[in-house]
Amino acid sequence: MGTGRMGTGRVEQVAGKTQSAKASRRRKAVGSGRAVAPRPRSGAASSAMDLAQLDDRVGYFLRRLQIAIFKDFIRTLAPVDVRPAQYSVLVLITANPGRSQAVIGKALNIERARLARMLHELERRQWIERRLSSADGRSHCLFMTAVGKEAMVRIEALAGQHERHMVKFIGGDLRQLLLDRLRKFGKS
């Protein structure tokens, strides 16, 4: 499951592209009519929906819960335009300054290729800084900038707000139980 688009963060830069996108869409739309094979007719069913075996698949419900949680996270942190993966990286750099990309990536299970791009974005926003390691010329040591540390104050405030939403959403008891039981799956 990738994470796809989800939520309403990052709305700014879409506006400028609307016109040309529309135009090219219209251009390409010419002659794109799919040859649809004629289908047989059938009466439509209309009783209540049965989830059947899906009702016993934890994965299914966990997935839906997780999507709802990420949506709230993205919505809550929209003012600072920080997504879940970015947040986890920022927290780790803040708490562990000077670590290499490889180490941070492994801790969060983020591919180094993906992390490289994400760090470029965070560097562009002047929140983090990369310094070549004096011990290993291949490694980049990661640090928060002064601007980044300042931004983290607001980011953590919003993240805390999101966490309080979770308490209201799934209940404080279930939240705590999940934390206690799931921590072991999130390490390494």
Partner DNA sequence: TATTGTTATACTCTATAACTATA
Partner DNA sequence: TATAGTTATAGAGTATAACAATA
Residues that bind DNA (CB under 7 A): 1-8, 10, 13-14, 17-18, 20-22, 24-26, 28-29, 32-34, 36, 67, 71, 83-86, 100-102, 105, 109-114, 116-120, 130, 136-140
**Alpha-carbon distances of 117 from 14, 30, 59, 149, 175, rounded to whole Å:** 20, 36, 30, 21, 32
> Which of the choices its own copies, DNA, none does residue 164 contact, using the CB cut-off of 5 to 8 A by kind?
none
Alpha-carbon gap, residue 65 to 76, rounded angstroms: 16
Alpha-carbon gap, residue 38 to 67, rounded angstroms: 37
The verdict on 49 binding its own copies (CB under 8 A) reads yes
The residue (of 23 and 54) whose beta carbon lies closer to its own copies is 54
The verdict on 12 binding its own copies (CB under 8 A) reads no
145 neighbors 126 (Cβ within 8 angstroms): yes
List binders of its own copies among 120-179 (CB under 8 A): 130-136, 139-141, 143, 156, 159, 162-163, 166, 170, 174-175, 177-179
Alpha-carbon gap, residue 154 to 76, rounded angstroms: 11
> Which of the choices DNA, its own copies, none does residue 107 contact, using the CB cut-off of 5 to 8 A by kind?
its own copies
The residue (of 80 and 170) whose beta carbon lies closer to its own copies is 170
157 neighbors 179 (Cβ within 8 angstroms): no
